[in-house]
Amino acid sequence: MHEFNAMSAKKGNNNDQRSWREERGAQIKGRMHHRTAPAVDRWVDEQMFEEDVRAVLLMMRPHRRERLMGWSEYRTGGRLFRATISWDEEFAADAGSSPDPQPQDEVFTVPNFADVLEALLIGSIRSDAELTAAEECEAYRALLRELERRVEERGRCAS
């Protein structure tokens, strides 16, 4: 019985706090000129909209600091995923140069693309898979064979 009374008191306190806020809001609205309230409401709506737009832009274009430092980026994706590759000028300047020039470096949007794909592929196997080094390498090869099959299929469709 005592617990019920304590719970009732807490609920009553929340209701008192809510009614105080509602009363205070009504007082403020009552002091506003009847023409001012819609303008204030519109201003608040515009501010909220602008904040939402900023949030969406941040989601669409992350890594602002890197872009300001001169980094470039490439975005791509499929039906249910997105990928972003970012690189700096030094990485781009190294493309096609010795000691390891990559074939077709000048054709791709992303410089040193083989290095990027290697970094994405190697180490991408889940740690809980508990594969040996040989099994891990075979999984990489199987993925590359599947990728080669898709590229060949695309080439046949274009012919």
The domain locations on the chain are 2-60, 79-158
Q: Give me the percent of the chain exceeding a pLDDT of 70.
A: 69
Helix (H, G, I), strand (E, B) or coil at 76: strand
Joined together, the tokens standing for residue 17 give 């706090």
What residue ranges in 21-71 does DSSP mark as E strands? Answer: none
Mean pLDDT, residues 26-44: 75
pLDDT in tens, 102-134: 667 778 888 888 888 888 898 888 888 888 889
Phi, psi angle pair for 95, to nearest 5°: -60, 130
